[in-house]
Amino acid sequence: MASLILTSTLRTIINLNISYVSFKRNFTIKSITESTSNSSDDNNTFTKLNAQEHRISAISAEKIIDNRIKFLKNNIYNRVNYELLEDFPKWLKGLHMQNLAHYFEGKKWQEIIKMDDKDLEKLGITDHLTRSILGSHFWVIQVDYAMKSGLPIPRKNFLRDWKQLYGKETLENFPAYLDLIRMKKVAPLFKNKKFKDILEMDSQDLKNLGVELARDRVKLIKNFWRIKRRIFFEDIIKRIEGQDSNKSN
């Protein structure tokens, strides 16, 4: 009798263990499946968020660059906005450099635009690229002011190498230029467009033309701006050469 009870008890224990193992196995498998499923959802969500974040970043960059280039065209390169220069912090804000305003406190724009790289460094502007960008813009204003006042055009050292940035044949063959900057895929969109009109295109113009990706529009806008500046500086080089020629005569 005792043996029978013991056998029955052992069977019960074994069955309970089997049930527990089966339950644990099923629970574990279910947990792993749910975990994998959740992980997959998380990864998809993460990918979607990453893609969305990347898209937002690209669009934000596009907006900033587009606004900056418009500011440069409207207030420095196409014409110098001397009225805006009177409010120099606002002028810096247009360049997204408002964080530098405190360096120029108490100084008039006429004094500021004469500052060279060393002067800017003495003010405390340690970043070389920032000083270079400011110096370039200051020089353009100096040139405009000199031409309007009948004064000699001030020189700039970087002009010596400016002509080497793009070959003339590249500018005359726009598809070749797009190939050079690895944007050949959009070449058909610019068919029958005049080069001078292309250079004036902004982000919205490119979007209307069919350039769908924000990063592509950013790349094109930046490169178009480089060419426009090159043409601008070439014109100044010719003026300086003419100025030197007149002096020698």
Could you tell me if 165 and 249 lie in one domain?
yes
pLDDT tens string 169-216: 556 688 888 988 999 999 999 988 888 888 889 999 999 999 999 999
| The pair of three-digit structure tokens given for residue 249, joined into one six-digit string | 């005569």
Could you tell me if 188 and 241 lie in one domain?
yes
Please check whether residue 140 lies inside any domain of the structure.
Answer: yes
Cα Rg of the chain, angstroms: 33
What does the DSSP 8-state code read for residue 78? S
Please check whether residue 46 lies inside any domain of the structure.
Answer: no
Could you tell me if 71 and 142 lie in one domain?
yes
Distances (CA, A) of 70 to 141, 199, 221: 16, 12, 11
CB 156 within 8 A of CB 126: no
Handedness of CA 21, 22, 23, 26 (dihedral sign): positive
Could you tell me if 102 and 129 lie in one domain?
yes
Number of domains in the chain: 2
Could you tell me if 169 and 95 lie in one domain?
no
pLDDT tens string 27-44: 333 333 334 344 334 334
247: pLDDT confidence band, cut at 50, 70 and 90? low
Could you tell me if 170 and 242 lie in one domain?
yes
**Residues shown for the chain:** 249
Give one word for 125, left, alpha or beta, with left for phi > 0 and alpha for psi -120 to 50. beta
Residue numbers of the domain that contains 165:
156-249
